[in-house]
Amino acid sequence: MAEFTLTVNGASHVVDVVADTPLLYVLRNDLRLTGPRLGCGMAQCGSCSVLVDGEEIRSCVTPVSAAVGKRIHTIEGLPGLWAGKNRFNGTETVDTLHPIQQAWIDVQVPQCGYCQSGMMITAADLLERNPNPTVAEIKEAFTNAPPSPHLCRCGTYTAIIEAVQRAARAMVV
């Protein structure tokens, strides 16, 4: 066991764990952030995705030691990320979802919901790199981009495309 200091959703946390513990386990079990989900545990489904320095990674195969010194954001941290970008005041920060989360609600994307935090994390990564993606680029981000496609057993893919486009429009306003 060793102590690791992690910056998660803008706050610093010290955890005492084995160095190769998956980041996902630390987020869920030690920090009680249950947005990222355990699906395959093998970097093959995307349900555990989080942002590390703004890029999506699969937290089920990322050792906690590899995340030290980096900015980690889970789905719970998306409102704060958006608030920081727009310099919201305190009240606005508390009351405002990230446009991606709002778009997911407006389009009613989730069915069982299990995969959806990973889907929104990928949308955040995509829209940061490409604020106005084409349908082909959205499909690419959720399917062919490494390490694997994001899997949704409920088949919400069409709604995801619509929600990403809706979020993209909201984020340029």
Residue ranges in contact with ligand FES by CB under 6 A: 38-41, 43-48, 58, 60, 110-116, 152-154, 156
Closest contact distance (angstroms) between CB of 52 and ligand FES is 13
Contacts of 91 (CB under 8 A, 6+ apart): none
Q: Which is nearer to ligand FES, 41 or 80 (CB)?
A: 41
> Residue 165 is which amino acid?
Q
Q: Which is nearer to ligand FES, 47 or 122 (CB)?
A: 47
Closest contact distance (angstroms) between CB of 53 and ligand FES is 18
Residue 134: Cβ within 10 Å count: 10
Closest contact distance (angstroms) between CB of 94 and ligand FES is 27
Q: Which is nearer to ligand FES, 45 or 107 (CB)?
A: 45
Closest contact distance (angstroms) between CB of 131 and ligand FES is 25
Q: Which is nearer to ligand FES, 25 or 83 (CB)?
A: 25
Q: Are 10 and 84 in contact (CB under 8 A)?
A: yes
Q: Which is nearer to ligand FES, 58 or 166 (CB)?
A: 58
Closest contact distance (angstroms) between CB of 23 and ligand FES is 10
In this structure, what token pair is assigned to residue 171?
């984020």
Kind and range of the H or E element at 79?
A: helix 78-86
Contacts of 162 (CB under 8 A, 6+ apart): 107
Q: What is the rounded distance in angstroms from the CA atom of residue 19 to the CA atom of residue 3?
A: 9
How far apart, in Å, are the Cα atoms of 31 and each of 51, 99, 167? 16, 25, 28
Q: Which residues pair with 13 in a beta bridge?
A: 6
